[in-house]
Each structure stands twice: as C-alpha cells, then as structure tokens.
Amino acid sequence: MAKVRVGIVGGTGYTGVELVRLLVQHPEVDLVALTSRAEAGRKVADLYPNLRDRCDLAFSEPDDPSLLACDVVFFATPHNVAMKSVPDMLARGQKVIDLSADFRLRDASQWSHWYNEVHAAPELLEQAVYGLPERNRNAIAKAQLVACAGCYPTAVQLGFMPLLESNLVDSAHLIANAASGVSGAGRQPNVANLFAEMSDSFKAYGVSGHRHLPELEQELGLINGSPVGLTFVPHLLPTIRGIHATLYATLVGDCDDIQSLFEDRYREEPFVDVLAPGDYPQTRSVRGSNHCRIAVARPQQRDTVVVMSVIDNLVKGASGQAVQCMNIMCGFPETAGLTGIAMMP
C-alpha cells in the first residue's frame, strides 16, 4: 500500500522541525516537500543536524510543485499565512492541518480583534474542525481542514473537560494559571528570550489579554454547553520545553470521587495519563512525547478543585497533536509515529 505523501509549509521553526522529526519516523508517511523562503535550497540536515541520515530533503520555495502532489499538507507558519493558501489546496482535494491560529476561532471579527488583521478566508471558519482529538475525534476523521488546538488551550481544556462535561463546577469563574517553556515563543530572535534574560527567573505576561484566551473561552464554552468565564494568566518558564497548567474551579455539583471521574473520562485515551492521588505531574515526564499527564486534587476537601496538567508544548501542544489528527483523518492507528517515550533526565 502506498504511503501518504506529506508536505510541510514553514519547516524552519520549532514546530516545523518537530513535525519533521516525527514524520520521518512515521510508518505510513513519505515526506516529500518542506518549504521555507528564507532557507530555500539549503539541506534540512544542515540547519538541524539531528536529522542527518533521516531526512535528505532540501528546503524549497512555497510554490514548489511537489507540494501540489501532497495528500496532506501541514502549515507550521505564523498566523495569516495558511488562510491565503488553504482555499486552493482544499479545492484540489488535499487535506490540510494548520498549526497556526488562522482557523481556530469561528468568528472572523473576533479573529480580527485579536490579530489586528482582516481574515482572508472567513468562509472556511465553519468548515474547519478544531483539532483536539480527545473532544473531536469523530469530526476530525471526516475533516478536510483541521485547526490544531493551541498549546496552552490543549493543557487547559484537557484539565477542565471532565468537570465541565459533568456540570460539577461554577463555569463562570474558572482560573487557569499556566507556564510555558521559552520555545513556545518561537525561533525568531527576541532579547526577552535570550538565555541571560530569562534564565533563573519566572514571570507572568499577557495578563490583560492573551491571544489564546478567545480560543479557550470559545472551546470551553462548547464543552460546557454555554459561555464560560475564564481568568487566564500565562507565565514564562526558564526551560526550553513544557507547559504546566494549574487550574482552579469551584464545585457546585455532587461528586464523591473526582479522581474516578478523571480516570473514567480518559481511560481509553492513548495520550492522556491520569496520575494516582497525591502524585503530581512534572514537565520533564512528558518532554519529547505526545502525552498529557494530569493530576486532580481537592485540598482540605473544600469546594475548590485543583487540576494540574502538563504537556510538551512542541509535541502534544503542537506537532505531535497535528500528527495525531493526521492519523485520525487518514484512518491510521492513532498512535502511529507517536509512541516515543519522554526523555529523562
């Protein structure tokens, strides 16, 4: 049986090279195109030597004809790139998986408010399926266009989901206190992200409004069945990879065993691991893997539930989740190419 031909638009950033790392090991994939205007003509392994002897491709221009022959195209690009090319790809019958924010929000005016631009393909927003497999597996299987969930939204939604689905908490006053490694800011040079600037320190940012907030409130509202109120405070961790989200909600329903609620909800999910009571997740336990590890507690048996959720922001928060969506779209085993164990130490 022929392998699926896959291309990546925007292969030089962290999510792009993470996609390459995962796809060159995928048993059902033939990676045939990898585009970058800035690095066109350069061997991929010259930029990322970890791919020596695993990827012999060179970066090509975005109009590379081999991209037209791909069955699946990933966009690992900044916002406002995919939306300009996706309509033509869909018309050709290609499947598209977008890792940017171009198709996550269903309201074009809301997107324009947060990204300060006019959306170039608003007619596709309703067609795009939100790429969080633990919620939308059946819809992803039928989709031609998938908008992968953001990194913070993945960790936060997986943590809140069992509580909201069971109507157990006050959905008007949710709190998400989350911290990400610096790779979440991308590969472009930025003084604030220099090692000497961010190491041995810890800071909040985007407190007055982060671009993931409308995505979070939109999707948590869909889980809840009605609008939610969320206070979202992101932080910068002095690490390269990883997100740790600590979530708070007030109980309003009866539940004698919240631990079992979470265990039952995720029992059949291959990439969500609910830890035993008293065992709290660490970002290093998911580094390089597609897993989300979750712990839930009810301190002093009071009415506040605390959920701790950790992911690797570049894998389950981005490229690994994109490959998981591709597996579902193409009818492959959902774990194909994603069975790697987290790297410790």
Query: Could you list the active site residues?
Result: 151
User: How many Å separate Cα 52 from the centre of its chain?
Assistant: 26
Structure tokens belonging to residue 125: 């927003």
**Cα 275 from Cα 160, distance rounded (Å):** 15
Q: Buried (b) or exposed (e) across 110-136, using 16+ Cβ within 10 A?
A: bbeebeeeebbbeebbeebbbbbbbbb
**Cα 144 from Cα 265, distance rounded (Å):** 27
Q: Are 228 and 172 in contact (CB under 8 A)?
A: yes
Residues 6+ apart with CB under 8 A from 113: 214
Q: Residue 235 half-sphere exposure, CB side, CA atoms within 13 Å?
A: 16
Beta strands 145-148 and 129-131 are parallel
State which amino acid sits at residue 252. Answer: V
**Cα 44 from Cα 308, distance rounded (Å):** 37
**Cα 234 from Cα 245, distance rounded (Å):** 9
DSSP structure class, residue 81: S
Specify the 3-state DSSP secondary structure of 308: strand
Specify the 3-state DSSP secondary structure of 113: helix
Q: Are 174 and 230 in contact (CB under 8 A)?
A: yes
Residues 6+ apart with CB under 8 A from 338: 22, 271, 290, 320, 323, 324, 327
